């Protein structure tokens, strides 16, 4: 069984989005393209580690992952840059559109 989530991944700068999304799809082992890998809900437990690893390969980009789990209220928006992470879990919030310029980046191993 497992726990399913729906993922939406965006990349800044947009010009690098296709390249980075494809690399994330390959690292996740869900497919060789973003569309093949993430069109449906997935059991992708290692998304944090995979996105952090890809962000190390492309240190000039920011990866934004919006994850919605199968349980009501399970929603996370996370940003990855050069191996670091900023994560915002659902509460009384609106999904951020960019990383917090004053926020700390946490190392993901």
Tens digits of residue pLDDT in 76-108: 999 999 999 999 887 655 677 889 888 888 899
Domain ranges of the chain: 5-107
Q: Among 31, 36, 42, which Cα is nearest to 6's?
A: 42
Token pair for 97: 């559109």
CB atoms within 10 A of CB 25: 21
**What is the model's pTM?**
0.81
Distance CA 42, CA 24 (A): 14
- In this predicted structure, the answer to whether residue 2 has a pLDDT above a threshold of 90 is no
């Amino acid at each position: 069984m497992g726990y399913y989530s729906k993922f939406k991944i965006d990349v800044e700068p947009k010009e690098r989005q296709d390249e980075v999304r494809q690399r994330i799809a390959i690292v996740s082992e869900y497919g060789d393209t973003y569309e093949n890998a993430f069109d449906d809900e997935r059991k992708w437990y290692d998304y944090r580690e995979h996105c952090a690893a890809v962000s190390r390969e492309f240190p000039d980009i920011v990866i934004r992952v919006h994850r919605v789990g199968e349980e009501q209220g399970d929603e996370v928006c996370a940003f990855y840059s050069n191996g670091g992470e900023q994560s915002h879990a659902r509460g009384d919030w609106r999904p951020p559109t960019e990383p917090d310029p004053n926020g700390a980046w946490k190392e993901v191993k």
